[in-house]
Amino acid sequence: MDALRNDRRPLVVITGGLGRVATVLRPHLRAQYRLRLVDRAIQVGSIPAQHDVEVLHADIGDPDTAYQAFDGADAILHLAANSSPWQSWDSVYAANVRSAQVVVEAAAAHGVPKIVLASSIHAMGEYNRPAYWPVSPRLDPRPCCPYGLGKVVVEALARSHADRTGASVTCLRLGLTGWPLTERRYLGQWLSDGDAGRLVLAALQAREPYGVHFGVSANTRNHWDITSARTELGYRPQDDSEQLADATGPSSGPVCRLFDESQTPEEGEK
């Protein structure tokens, strides 16, 4: 790790650093940052063999681990979470809310000046109806499931952290990220791999005191308003899900209340 120690680029610690979203983001971030990846689920062959990437096999929900992981960090990208919309509130609290609390407390102890936190459109899922499109991030939260409710609580923790410490905190309510776009109902919330990188780089460089923004591409089916991400972060999306629309198919089944059960997915996507 001598090369990593001698590299003077800013250090970004990524929780959930070997997960689906982090795997999409790492190639974009490595151009500007040193990376320290923290993940408890390391499988054989999953660790990147790169001189400027450090890997810590640990549970970020453990306070001692989090304190160790954030030593020397210039920024934290908090991605670690259980993203299932079907989990119970007890599971959401244990896996997502409690770990986020540990993260902000350890960040405060080290005086880390920037946190980018992965929230979700599930925090606003009850607005995913034609009457509200494009949904404004300034509306009051209306989660569609326990997972979304957990993200609302995490956003509140993040805001409290920003107020208490003066750190810059950006919450990104991500849409469909790192998954293949196979169903029509996701066309309005798709975030391409390239735009995901552009969004997170913009968020890491922003110095807003606290902000919450939707994270989707420049989709023709404009369901989630990304105006604030454009104007306040400098996000410049380049991709549009409409280019992939012909290859998508019908829905595979219910997904909490993110999609209105009183209408068919096709009706909701027109």
DSSP code at position 97: I
* Sheet of strand 34-39, all strands in order from the earlier edge strand to the far edge: 53-57, 34-39, 11-15, 75-78, 114-120, 168-174, 210-215
Distance CA 143, CA 160 (A): 20
Would you name the residues annotated as active-site residues? 147
Buried b vs exposed e over 74-108: b needs ≥16 C-beta within 10 Å? ebbbbbbbebebebeeeebbebbbebbbbbbebbe
170: its two tokens: 């950006």
Q: Which residues contact 66 (CB under 8 A, 6 or more apart)?
A: 60, 102, 103, 105, 106
166: its two tokens: 């003066």
- For 102: left if phi > 0, alpha if psi spans -120 to 50, otherwise beta; the answer is alpha
As a whole number of angstroms, the longest Cα–Cα distance in the chain is: 59
